[in-house]
Amino acid sequence: MKKLLILGSGAGGTIVAAKMAKSLGDDWKITVIDRDWKHHYQAGWLFVPFGVYSLADCMKPKSDFIPEGVTFVQDTIVNINPEKKQVKTEKGEYDYDWLVIGTGCRIMPDEIEGMMDDWHGNIHDFYTPTGAQALYKKLKYYKKGKVVLNIAEMPIKCPVAPLEFVYLADWFFTINGVRKDIEIELVTPLTGAFTKPVAAGVLGKVCEEKNIKIVPNFEIAGVNVGEKTIESVKGEKVDYDLLVSIPPNFGSQIIMDSGLGDAMGYVDTDKHTLKAKNIPNCYVIGDATNCPTSKAGSVAHYQADIVCDNLLREIDGEEPRPEFDGHSTCFIVSGYEQAYLIDFNYKVEPLQGKYPFPGVGPFALLGESHFNYWGKMMFKWVYFNLMLKGHELPLESQMFMAGKMRHHLVGA
């Protein structure tokens, strides 16, 4: 019997398992290995600090999304051996004919000097469940001070999330009647609000209108918790009362330990076929790749079709097709039940216009609307009920659910 082994059951690994289960015959065994039984809707962590979602809203058992005929193994991977086509875990060994790596990425706050000296004290994150919950407790009654959102370096998961955070903070503090006593500052290594010039101009203007200061070209060197400052490699200092950090993002430790990644633990991946460059019989998906596109759920969703198609082609003796174009689609919540929408790929940056949704109507691209906001808020339902199960996304169902998914900020 032939064996397909999938490492990681996040968005990418789970969707691949669902799609391949429909395509491979009874002569194939599909196994998914992951150390955690909980599946998180990671995009929801952004909303936890503001009381829009709880962690429970963003979490379901992974067993809910493993299709019939696919074996789910809850275990910790300790080694990947491409030469033997074997993966070792704490409890066993697994051979494979084809491997899909979907091990994601993680934040590394200890990479920044001084950051751990006050971690979850006056320095917080929202890129982990525990971090988002701790920040919720910090913000719930926050009344006065300077809130600094710092991006340590790129790449990071969901590059629009830092902007969404400062926009939501402006909304949250305004609703709670304390915005006049709170400064909000976005400190970034980028040259502006976003990575792409046209979008950076539009989204930077939004920051200006909301009185959110942007400090660009800031490459953090360390944190001085005694004087409550962050310092750049050039010696520039920014003071804070509350530091919301997006630390360096690294790939999985197992990728690094197995010698299969670059210095940051990402797998060297052909950006068009999604096949691993240095690992035979292996495809890579989602945050685990070093593809020059967003590390976001939408990207993993788009990549899954390419990974599955190319796997099937190679199993049939054909060459993989270079069809992935870096496609990413992101809603950017801007506050007051409005949002922007951007859509781009390797060659085309986010531009203004309309995103066609047949039967529903166009979403505004790089334009603020309530329609975009409810598109964002209904997506958790779509994610859990359709995407992870390998279904296509019927647009009418999405819009129907949007009317049932109203959420309110703390204090609203």
> Crossing angle of helices 297-315/11-23, nearest 10°?
30
pLDDT score for 359: 52
pLDDT score for 133: 98
CA 346/CA 324 separation, integer angstroms: 9
Beta pairing, strands 338-344 & 328-335: antiparallel
pLDDT score for 379: 84
Residue 147 near residue 167 (C-beta atoms within 8 A): no
Per-block average pLDDT, block size 10, for the chain (412 residues)?
A: 97 97 95 96 97 96 94 98 98 98 98 98 98 98 98 96 98 98 98 90 96 98 98 98 98 97 97 98 98 95 97 98 95 95 91 68 82 87 89 48 35 34
CA 315/CA 24 separation, integer angstroms: 10
Other CB atoms within a 10 A radius of the CB of residue 227 amount to 9
Residue of 219, 221, 224 lying closest to 114 (CA atoms): 224
For residue 97, the SS3 value is: coil
- Residue 266 DSSP class: -
CA 104/CA 158 separation, integer angstroms: 12
In tens, the pLDDT along 297-336 reads 999 999 999 999 999 999 999 999 999 999 999 999 999 9
- Residue 268 DSSP class: -
Give the DSSP per-residue string, 196-250. SHHHHHHHHHHHHHTTEEEE-S--EEEEETTTTEEEETTS-EEE-SEEEEE--EE
Q: In sequence order, what are the beta bridge partners of 60?
A: 39
Backbone angles phi, psi at 204, to 5 degrees: -65, -35
In tens, the pLDDT along 86-126 reads 999 999 999 999 999 999 999 999 999 999 999 999 999 99
